Amino acid sequence: MITALKRQAVPQISCDVRAGKITNVEFIVKCPPGCQDPRYHVYGTDVYASYSSVCGAAVHSGVLDNSGGKILVRKVAGQSGYKGSYSNGVRSLSLPRWRESFVVSEGKPQKGVTYPSSLTYSSSKSPAAKAGETARADQSPSGPETAAQPITVTQVPGTTAVEATHTTLPKPSPSADSTASGLQPQPAGQRSKDLGEPALWKPESVLLDAGFVPKEELSTQSLEPASHGDPSCKVDLSFLIDGSSSIGKRRFRIQKQFLTDIAQTLDIGPAGPLMGVVQYGDNPATQFNLKTHMNSQDVKAAIEKISQRGGLSNAGRAISFVTKNFFSKFNGNRGGAPNVAVVMVDGWPTDKVEEASRFARESGINIFFITIEGASENEKQYVLEPNFANKAVCRTNGFYSLTVQNWFSLHKTVQPLVKRVCDTDRLACSKTCLNSADIGFVIDGSSSVGTSNFRTVLQFVANLSREFEISDTDTRIGAMQYTYEQRLEFGFNEYSTKSDVLSAIKRVGYWSGGTSTGAAINYALEQLFKKSKPNKRKLMILITDGRSYDDIRIPAMLAHHKGVITYAIGVAWAAQDELDIIATHPARDHAFFVDEFDNLYKVVPKVIQNICTEFNSQPRN
């Protein structure tokens, strides 16, 4: 290659471009901002399957941050497996075998190498063209099609098959004699166990085995698996099935058939829904978890092998088990997908479900209840917990609970249930940045604020509170006011609706006095956040208009040590150095200053955006 003496043009790609769509073997590209978004799927760690987003992989690897930039991409051989991981705000997924891989590094051109100023993309052929190619595969090519065609390959790092960097080899026809390669051609039409393709001899297979990658990528149809799952239904789904003795063998088989129908209806895969099953009787047991099976066919086969456990119908114990054990990263929880648990009950549970379900909901799990052949009027005296289904779900509007009159009607529930669990916009119990926190407002009520400005501060507090989903299981709001002294206006447990919280904020009276911000932070930790729930994110939003009369360093360090994420909002005479100390690191994301009280409203969207950005960058559960 000729040494590049002048600056080379760098092509720009979008976040959704996959490496497998680009036929170039080595290239430099520029990625736009925003590729950390979970909708740009990445498969693998360090070495990525070519089905991955190029720019998403660059962010995952740490070569880029979410602001974008230039990267160097190099194709390498396919791997026998790709391990997913969480890194730099991106959760990559695991994948079994894949045909081609790539690695990314900083976008610095190597000396003496000229990189393409434009990229070559693989073209998708029409179904008719593909059908024609398949028909020709079993025929002996003739004419110009039998001519040997050159194919450029590049050696994978770590291989020693050939010392030269680039080699050109002839591309024989499928019927050509391949004995020189050391591999015998397989009979035409025999299917590959891994990719399900006709296993005709191709030079690419020899090159891949020898540690080489062809420059010309196969068509998208042959590279991509049959399905990676339905991306419009990306949920982590657990079915808690009733294996109690009372259900009987016949109804247990109907329950298994129901699960099979669900798996068939869902397009299960790493880019869509994943499904696991827990069976409960006296005690629960995982039949298979989220990462065990990656397609609907394998899930159906696993369901068929499930045998009935017997015993009581302890659904509450099963829900607790799922909350503590099932939705973990080890068991395949992806973090970026809503967690859904569907509890199936024959008649009624033999233990209580309300508290277990509440804890599950507060852990971000969407609980659905399917009750089959519920208690008749004469049987209700035996039900341990009346209205158990309504007590278990987070909304009693019928969305989360389904009642089936008899087991032979259960199949009619398949479509309604699939539609609901895939409706991620309505999964209100799933943890988001707006429904998973205890937020404590620490309000400066000193004399320098004044009555009129204090009302403006309260309006700012109300505007922030309106952005959150408020209930006893979603975000909770508390507030305190301080001068030299401190006063709890209302705690996290006092108001469980948005309207009640906004009314309580409006009723807060102006106090007037000095400014002891350090003592106020200590008071908030003791009187507000000590009563926060352990599975809630703790957010402190402190608003002040001046320098503190007491030390703020030690109280601020204590808040950070206790895991309280602190936002410091300064107005007018507030000291920037103190705001930076109070705020959680990095201060640029947690400390804000406005010169006038009337400008506080401008800070609201910035605070909300940073709260959500920080939440989305962390692993869930």
Predicted confidence at residue 123, as pLDDT, reads: 62
Predicted confidence at residue 219, as pLDDT, reads: 34
Tell me if 396 sits within 8 A of 430, measured CB to CB. Answer: no
Confidence of residue 484 (pLDDT cuts 50, 70, 90): very high
Give span(s): CATH 3.40.50.410, the chain.
231-426, 437-616
Question: Among 3.30.450.20, 3.40.50.410, 1.10.645.10, 3.40.50.2300, what is the CATH number of 231-426?
Answer: 3.40.50.410
Predicted confidence at residue 256, as pLDDT, reads: 96
Tokens of 124: 């998708």
Task: Write the DSSP symbol of residue 441.
Answer: E
Residue 215 reports pLDDT greater than 50: no
Residue 23 reports pLDDT greater than 80: yes
Confidence of residue 335 (pLDDT cuts 50, 70, 90): confident
Confidence of residue 124 (pLDDT cuts 50, 70, 90): very low
CB count in 10 Å sphere of residue 131: 11
Rounded CA-CA distance 529/521 in Å is: 10
Tokens of 616: 């989305």
Confidence of residue 430 (pLDDT cuts 50, 70, 90): low
The listed range with the strongest mean pLDDT (81-90, 156-165, 509-518, 532-541) is: 509-518
Predicted confidence at residue 153, as pLDDT, reads: 35
Tokens of 505: 């904020």
Predicted confidence at residue 189, as pLDDT, reads: 32
As a whole number, mean pLDDT of residues 271-284 equals 94
Fold for the domain defined by 1-123+150-225: Ferric Hydroxamate Uptake Protein; Chain A, domain 1 (2.170.130)
3-state secondary structure of 101: strand
pLDDT digits (tens, 9 = 90+) for 155-206: 333 333 333 333 333 333 333 333 333 333 333 333 233 333 333 323 333 3
Tokens of 455: 């009302």
Give burial (CB, 10 Å; 0-12/13-18/19+) of 237.
buried
Task: Please give the helix or strand (H or E) that residue 566 lies within, else none.
Answer: strand 564-571
Residue 581 reports pLDDT greater than 80: yes
Sheet with 476-482, strands from edge to edge, namely 486-490, 476-482, 437-444, 537-544, 564-571, 591-594
As a whole number, mean pLDDT of residues 266-280 equals 93
Q: Which residues of 397-435 are buried (b: 16+ CB within 10 A; e: fewer)?
A: eebbbbebeebeebeebbeebbebbbeeeebbbbbbbbb
Rounded CA-CA distance 345/242 in Å is: 6
Predicted confidence at residue 98, as pLDDT, reads: 82
Rounded CA-CA distance 467/464 in Å is: 6
Predicted confidence at residue 397, as pLDDT, reads: 72
Predicted confidence at residue 187, as pLDDT, reads: 32
Tokens of 260: 């099979």
Q: Which residues of 107-117 are buried (b: 16+ CB within 10 A; e: fewer)?
A: beeeeeeebbe
307 phi/psi in degrees, rounded to 5 = -110, 150
Predicted confidence at residue 390, as pLDDT, reads: 86
Confidence of residue 142 (pLDDT cuts 50, 70, 90): very low
The mean-pLDDT minimum among 24-28, 55-59, 83-87 falls in 83-87
HSE-up (13 A, CA, CB side) for residue 554: 4
Q: 220: which residues sit within 8 A by CB, 6+ positions away?
A: 20, 21, 122, 124
pLDDT digits (tens, 9 = 90+) for 47-75: 999 999 999 999 999 999 989 999 999 99
Residue 413 reports pLDDT greater than 70: yes
Task: Write the DSSP symbol of residue 121.
Answer: B
pLDDT digits (tens, 9 = 90+) for 502-515: 999 999 999 999 99
The dihedral region occupied by 563, where left means phi > 0, alpha psi between -120 and 50, and beta the remainder, is left
Q: What is the CATH number of domain 437-616?
A: 3.40.50.410
Predicted confidence at residue 60, as pLDDT, reads: 92
Confidence of residue 429 (pLDDT cuts 50, 70, 90): low
Give span(s): CATH 2.170.130.20, the chain.
1-123+150-225
